[in-house]
Chain A
């Protein structure tokens, strides 16, 4: 049987390199994808997610097991992403972020569910507008939406990641989705 994340984390605290490698392998894709979804830049996402693993290695001893390991790790990761966004807020205004063009949506890679090319185009445009609207959300709202949608996290866990109350998470989600809904309705 595969060891649980929490058991691996305990071993990492004792500087077990194999346990660390295993945790990295388990979380690398999710960490990179979540960081990219928040930062929308592949290089930044790689750097920040790697930094999260370094913090995990350094701070494994402080994980007390009061929450799930994934919640604890995502808290480190999301905080690093939000810090990064805050620090690079003004820089990003001047540097063109071309990751959006390099990345492709799932819709781009899958055959359209509808045959009508007009419908297909309209749906693609809607998705593009929705993607842009997600990028424009306030960082914590965006993080809440991404944790819910990508990581399928419960409100309780999102609250622990974002260090706020469940009520605040509900408000974040409601406001974010209301904004996105308006974007879709405009089209």
Chain B
């Protein structure tokens, strides 16, 4: 005799086995009185389980739904507060504060920046070439070795 189809008995009782499996279980039950008896016991048991579980205490459904609504509203308020559009005044105030902090911070950075050494100041004043923006804009000339060699001469020509 084939193995006992223990795990298949509940699906068999509910009629959800595919035809071939159903046929196999049915044939087995005809030949195996133990499994046939088990099937009957299971059928009764499944019926009794529903009775044995009983019914839960009664619920006021209107109150249940009202509570659910409150919980849902609370959850939405908690999870999306940062996504909500801010009132215009609050947004403007925050933008103003950020702007002030930015301006003040920039000023502080420039004040505390690396001080310019006195020799750099003198060099900047003495190099007339660097004071001329048009010349600075044509810095590609500095790539020309000939121009570099005669740089002082060119500067004086330009000033003359």
**Which residues of A pack against B, CB within 8 Å?**
21, 24-25, 28-29, 32-33, 36-37, 42, 45-46, 50-51, 53-54, 57-58, 99, 102-109, 126-128, 130-131, 134, 145-146, 148-150, 154-156, 167, 170-171, 173-174, 177, 180-181, 184
- Is the Cβ of B51 less than 8 Å from the Cβ of A53? no
User: Using a CB–CB distance below 8 Å, which chain B residues touch chain A?
Assistant: 6-11, 14, 16, 41-42, 45-46, 48-57, 59, 61, 64-65, 67-68, 71-72, 75
* Complex A-B: 14 CB contacts under 8 Å: A32-B56, A33-B56, A50-B68, A54-B71, A57-B72, A58-B75, A103-B54, A105-B52, A105-B54, A126-B48, A148-B10, A154-B14, A170-B11, A174-B9
In the complex, what's the smallest C-beta–C-beta distance from A119 to chain B, in angstroms?
Answer: 15
Nearest CB of chain B from residue A161's CB, rounded to whole Å? 15
Q: Are A36 and B10 in contact (CB under 8 A)?
A: no
Of the residues A28, A106, A126, A145, contact of B54 by C-beta under 8 Å: A106
Inter-chain CB contacts under 8 Å: number: 114
Give min CB distance, B70 to chain A, whole Å: 10
Residue in B57, B67, B75 whose beta carbon sits within 8 Å of that of A102 in the complex = B57
Contacts A24-B68, A148-B10, A149-B50 hold; do A181 and B57 have CB atoms under 8 A apart?
A: no
Closest CB of chain A to B125's CB: distance in Å?
Answer: 69
Judging by beta carbons under 8 Å apart, are B65 and A21 in contact? yes
Residues of B within 8 A of A145 (CB): 49
Residues of A within 8 Å of B68, CB to CB, are 24, 50, 53-54
Contact B53 A42 (CB under 8 A): no
**What is the bound-complex CA distance between A143 and B51, given in angstroms?**
16
Residues of B within 8 A of A25 (CB): 61, 65
**Most chain A beta-carbon contacts within 10 A, residue among B14, B54, B72, B75:** B54
Could you tell me the distance between the alpha carbons of A109 and B54 in the complex, rounded to whole angstroms?
Answer: 10
Residues of chain A contacted by B65 (CB below 8 angstroms): 21, 24-25, 28
**Would B75 and A181 count as touching, CB distance under 8 A?**
no
CA distance A181 to B10 in the complex (A): 13
Assuming A54-B71, A148-B10, A177-B46, is B59 touching A32 (CB within 8 A)? yes
- Return chain A residues, CB-CB under 8 Å to B41: 181
A106 to B6: give the CA distance in the assembly, Å: 29
Closest B residue to A40 using CB positions: B56
